[in-house]
Amino acid sequence: MAELVCFSENCRARFPITEVIYNCPHCGGLLETMYEAPEQSALMLKRVWRERRASNMPLDQSGVWRYREFIPFLNSYNCVVTLREGNTPLLEARQAAQYGGLDQLVFKHQGYNPTGSFKDNGMTCGTAQALRLGMSRVACVSTGNTSASMAAYASAAGLQPIIFIPHGNISYGKLAQALEYGARTLQVEANFDQILALVRQLAEKLGIYLLNSINPFRIEGQKTIMTEMLDQRDWRVPDWVVLPGGNLGNTSAFGKALREMKELGLIDRLPRLAVIQAEGAAPFYELAHQPAKARRKAVLKAVEHPETLATAIKIGDPVSWPKALFEVSNSEGVVERVSEQEIADAKAVIGRCGIGCEPASAATLAGLRKLTAAGTIRADEDVVAVLTGHVLKDPDFIYKYHTGSLQTPDGALIRSTFGNQPVVVPYDSDEIAKVLES
């Protein structure tokens, strides 16, 4: 049995899984899906999930629906549309480990998803719920990755995708995906948080299903990132899971997944979560660094005009902050923030490992470098860092960094510490040889 439950500990109201709601009607709190424990034992679940890797069935080939006993909100899987999402690798990165002050470091790279980001894990679930509810139109507000993912999955499902983006605040690599996948795209002259408030009103008025991370079924899909990661590690729990913090949907999803896996006996302890924000969009950092007593009753203070080149985490009023705060506290985790220079340099270091990522992803390594320097994370600890998006999501950022023309939002020049500028040479083999030998 599945149901929607208010996340607020003072409310905990319960609702049918088929109600089209995103917040509790009684208190306004966030909602989460709750289930009865599966009939299978932890050992049996691990065996079934591993055996499905060899299956040619579409559900089993999905790195989300392979773990369907962990997200049992559907009565039937006829409404599932899968693009074979998930199945993302764990990649060792020696140079990044050294840069981050660690003996070793592994990246869980979500950029290997069909549309190039972790959003696909959640979107396959959100789209399935939209079909189950009989919806014909779905919408999201996005700085890029969500729009690309929603457009692909909605179109594959025969739904009409409608996308609202901040005008001029999206990389062309991400916008191009939304256009290619057939989304009706509206560029609004406002920031992400302002547009989300507007679209929530429109969705209710026009009967459009909202697929931002406030949608609890999106969170369910993103939970499987942690399930797959632990499956790939033969269920050995790392000491730390490090991830970027924007709208904080992943923080909420990862924490929920880890708690539930521990309750089911799939793992014996929780890793600590480390959430990294960009300095110009770090309201969660400010909240998490209040004194413990004050933090329990505190409300996140939004950043009215968030600024960062890492557009995927350029969010000043993250809707999932109550869940994220609980999950970070529950795991005895930490929240850190990093500068534009630190993000850009970390991204270049990751690239030198042969691993590309979008700017927001590189916040993980930048944050690790600060956390190890402060002694929060020891060099010998077991760390998995999540890279959220593909390197080609924002190619302009890469070119400008390596050619020395990348600037912060306020116009300051970012140093090309690890720059790799292309060299113009004449059509002359001797001259080219001199360049190569110099």
Report pLDDT for 240.
Answer: 98
Cα gap 17→33, rounded to integer Å: 8
32 touches 256 (CB < 8 A): yes
Domains of the chain (ranges; CATH) run 90-114+217-402 (3.40.50.1100)
Report pLDDT for 298.
Answer: 79
Angle at Cα 377 formed by Cα 374 and Cα 382, nearest 5°?
Answer: 160
Cα gap 22→156, rounded to integer Å: 24
* pLDDT tens digit sequence for 80-112: 999 999 999 999 999 999 999 999 999 999 999
Q: Is the whole model's pTM more than 0.85, yes or no?
A: yes
Classify strands 2-6 and 31-35 as parallel, antiparallel or unpaired: antiparallel
* pLDDT tens digit sequence for 154-204: 999 999 999 998 887 677 777 889 899 999 999 998 887 788 889 988 888
Task: State both tokens at 327.
Answer: 């999950």
Report pLDDT for 169.
Answer: 67
